[in-house]
Amino acid sequence: MTRHIRHAGFFCALLLVALLVNAARVQVVQAPAYDRNPANRRPDITRYEQPRGDILVGGRPVTGSKDTREHLRYERTYTDGPLYAPVTGFASQLYGTTLLEHSEDGILSGSDPMLAPFPLWNDFTRSRNPGGDVVTTLDPDAQRAAYQGLAGRKGAVAALEPSTGRILALVSTPSYDPQPLSGNGAAASRAWKRLNADRDRPMLNRAVRQTYPPGSTFKVVTLAAALDAGVVKDLDAPTDSPDPYTLPGTRTRLSNASRGCADASLREAFTLSCNTVFAKLGVEVGVTDMTATAHAFGFNNGDLRIPFPAARSTFDTTVDQAQLALSSIGQYNTRATPLQMAMVAAAVANGGQVREPYLVERTVRSGGSILATAGSRAIRQAMYPSTAVRLRALMREVVEDGTGRRAAIRGARVGGKTGTAQHGRHNSSTPYAWFISWAQGDRDLAPRVAVAVVVEDAEADRGDISGGGDAAPIARAVMEAVLKKERDRLPGS
Amino acid sequence: MSKAGITVATADPPAPAVRRLPRRRGIELALIVLAVLLSVYGYCAVGLARDGTVPPGAAGYGAGLGVLALLAHLAVRLRAPHADPLLLPIGVLLNGLGLVLIYRLDLETPGDRAAPAQLVWSTLGVALFILVVLLLRDHRVLQRYTYVCVVAALVLLTLPILFPAVNGARIWIRIAGFSIQPGEFAKVLLAVFFAAYLAANRNALACTGRRIWKLQLPTGRVLGPIVAVWLVSVGVLILERDLGTSLLFFGLFVVLLYVATGRTGWIAVGLLLAALGAVAVGRLEPHVHGRIETWLHPFASIEAGEGANQLAQSLFAFAEGGLLGTGLGLGHSVFIGFAVKSDFILATAGEELGFAGLSAVFLLYGLLVERGYRAGLALREPFGRLLAVGLASLVALQVFVIAGGVTGLIPLTGMAMPFLAQGGSSVVTNWAIVALLVRVSDSARRQYDGPGTP
Q: Is A109 a catalytic residue?
A: no
Kindly list the residues from chain B whose CB atom is less than 8 angstroms away from the CB atom of residue A31.
318-320, 322
- Residue A128, pLDDT score: 80
User: How near does any CA of chain B get to the CA of A132, in Å?
Assistant: 24
Pairing of strands A432-441, A449-455: antiparallel
Q: Do B396 and A27 touch (CB under 8 A)?
A: no
> What does the DSSP assignment read for B230-297?
HHHHHHHHHHH--HHHHHHHHHHHHHHHHHHH--HHHHHHHHHHHHHHHHHHHHH-HHHHHHHHHHH-
Say whether A39 and B335 touch across the interface (CB within 8 A).
Answer: no
State the nearest Cα–Cα gap between B210 and chain A, in angstroms: 22
CB B187 within 8 A of CB B394: yes
Q: Does the pLDDT at position A378 exceed 80?
A: no
Residue A248: other Cβ atoms inside 10 A:
15
List Cα–Cα distances, A206 to A158, A175, A182, A336, B35, in angstroms.
10, 10, 22, 11, 66
CA distance A13 to chain B (A): 7
pLDDT at A121: 76
Q: H-type helices in B379-423, by residue range?
A: 382-406
Instruction: Say if residue A463's pLDDT is above 70.
Output: no
pLDDT in tens, A129-180: 899 999 999 999 999 999 999 988 899 999 999 999 999 999 998 999 999 9
d(CA A408, CA A404): 8
Provide ipTM, 2 decimals: 0.91
Contact state of A1 with B385 under an 8 Å Cβ cutoff: yes
First and final CA of chain B: distance in angstroms? 11
User: Which chain A residues touch B if contact means CB-CB below 8 Å?
Assistant: 1-9, 11-13, 15-16, 18-20, 22-24, 26-28, 30-35, 37-42, 45, 126
CB contact under 8 A, B315 and A5: no
Q: Cα A207 from chain centroid?
A: 5
Nearest neighbour of A45 by CB, restricted to B332, B373, B377: B332
* Closest CA–CA distance from residue B107 to any residue of chain A (Å): 13
Contacting residues for B339 by C-beta, under 8 A, at least 6 apart? B167, B310, B414
pLDDT (tens digit per residue) in A177-220: 999 999 988 999 999 999 999 998 999 999 999 999 998 999 99
Q: Which of residues B277 and B256 earns the better pLDDT score?
A: B256
- Please determine, for residue A464, whether its predicted confidence score (pLDDT) is greater than 50: no
Number of neighbours of residue A64 by Cβ within 10 angstroms: 16
Q: What's the whole-number mean pLDDT along residues A232-250? A: 87
Instruction: Measure in Å the smallest separation between the Cα of A119 and chain B Cα atoms.
Output: 19
Residue A401, amino acid: D
Confidence of residue A493 (pLDDT cuts 50, 70, 90): very low
How close, in Å, is residue B321 to chain A by CA atoms? 6
Q: Out of A13, A24, A33, whose CB is closest to B355? A: A24
Distance, C-alpha A65 to centroid of its chain: 26
Contact (CB<8Å) B262/A2: no
Of the candidates A216, A258, A313, A437, the residue annotated as catalytic is A216
Residues of B within 8 A of A12 (CB-CB) are 366, 369, 373, 392-393, 396
DSSP state, residue B386: H
* CB–CB contact B382 A1 (8 Å): yes
For B382-413, write each residue's pLDDT tens digit.
Answer: 999 999 999 999 999 999 999 999 999 998 88
Give B364's contacts (C-beta < 8 A, 6+ positions apart). B90, B93, B94
Return the residue of A nearest to B267 by Cα. A8
Average pLDDT over chain A, rounded to an integer: 89
- Euclidean distance between CA atoms B408 and B402, whole angstroms: 10
Compute the C-alpha angle B221/B226/B228, nearest 5°.
Answer: 95
**Interchain CB distance below 8 Å, A16 and B396:** yes
**How far, in Å, are B38, B94, B167 from residue B239 at the CA level?**
42, 32, 14
pLDDT at B412: 87
A20 alpha-carbon distance from chain centroid: 55
pLDDT band at B447 (very low <50, low <70, confident <90, very high): confident
The chain A residue lying nearest B404, using CA atoms, is A19
HSE of A65 in the Cβ direction (CA atoms, 13 Å)? Answer: 22
DSSP one-letter code for A70 = S
- The whole-number pLDDT of residue A468 equals 73
Q: Which residues of B touch A49 (CB under 8 A)?
A: none
CB contact under 8 A, A5 and B377: yes
Mean pLDDT rounded to a whole number for chain B: 84
- Give the nearest partner residue to A126 out of B259, B326, B369, using CB atoms: B326
Q: What is the pTM of this model?
A: 0.76
- Residue A26: list chain B partners with CB under 8 A: 315, 318-319, 350, 407-408
Q: Which of A20, A26, A126 is opposite residue B315, by nearest beta carbon?
A: A26
Residue A428 has pLDDT above 70, yes or no: no
DSSP code at position A420: E
B4 Cβ contact partners less than 8 Å away, ≥ 6 residues apart: none
A104-111: average pLDDT: 92
Question: Which stretch of A267-276, A324-333, B178-187 has the lowest confidence by average pLDDT?
Answer: B178-187
* 3 state DSSP class of B86: coil
pLDDT of residue A459: 59
Asked if B409 lies within 8 A of A28 by C-beta distance, the reply is no
> pLDDT-based confidence at B223, cuts 50/70/90?
low
CA distance B160 to B184: 12
| Inter-chain contacts counted by CB atoms under 8 A, chains A and B | 131
Q: Which domains does chain A have, with CATH numbers?
A: 215-361+377-486 (3.40.710.10)
Contact A6 B377 (CB under 8 A): yes
pLDDT band of residue B212 (cuts 50, 70, 90) is: low
Contact B134, B79 (CB under 8 A): yes
Structure confidence at residue B397 (pLDDT): 94
Per CB-CB distance under 8 Å, the chain B contacts of A4 are 258-260, 262
Residue A68, pLDDT above cutoff 70: yes
Which of B446, B406, B200 has its CA nearest to residue B319? B406
